Amino acid sequence: MDIDDSLGFLLNRSATDMRAALENHLAPYGLTAPQWAVMARVSHTPGIGMTELASQLGYDKPTTSGIVSRLEKRELILRRRSNFDQRAIELYLSDAGKTLFAALPALAQHVNARAAQGFNEGEILLLKELLRRIRQNFA
């Protein structure tokens, strides 16, 4: 049995390929895919906390904290202490972060469209459904 016939290999490679395509578009802006994902979530939900952000991204907290720290160092994102819970922080895009994020073309759509080349609508939905079931089996 050939290695590139295994489900794990195919999942790994297709995920990596798709991510690489995304990062190709992000490179001119100096962003990585996870950084872009963080900015997208914070842009969508200003004031989001670290735990909720990590949960939405599917990362653990240390990973998410690290990505946020690198974005903070570039002054694209702000950590603010919550007034209601001294442990919690609220995340916001800085003005520079908002400007940069607004300047990004519709990257996700573009990469998704490329991934879906040659597929019909039903096939994509089916693929997503199968992937969700795979995840369920490991939950």
Query: Residue 45 touches which of DNA, its own copies, none (CB < 5 to 8 A by kind)?
Result: none
x/- binding map, residues 71-90, to DNA, per CB under 7 A? --------x--x--xxxxx-
Query: Residue 89 touches which of its own copies, DNA, none (CB < 5 to 8 A by kind)?
Result: DNA
DSSP of 68-83:
HHHHHHTTSEEEEE-S
Q: How far is the CB of 117 from its own copies (least distance, A)?
A: 5
What residues form DSSP beta bridges with 89?
A: 81
- Using CB under 8 A as the binding rule, the residues of this chain from 33 to 72 that contact its own copies are 37, 40-41, 56-58
Can you tell me whether residue 118 is helix, strand or coil?
A: coil
> Binding segment for DNA among 58-66, 98-106, 113-121, 127-135 (CB under 7 A)?
58-66
Are 113 and 42 a contacting pair, CB within 8 Å? no
For tokens 């991204």, what's the residue?
57
| Cα 101 to Cα 99: distance, rounded to the nearest angstrom | 6
Residues at the site binding its own copies, with contacts judged by CB under 8 A: 3-22, 37, 40-41, 56-58, 108, 111-112, 114-119, 123-124, 126-128, 130-135, 137-139
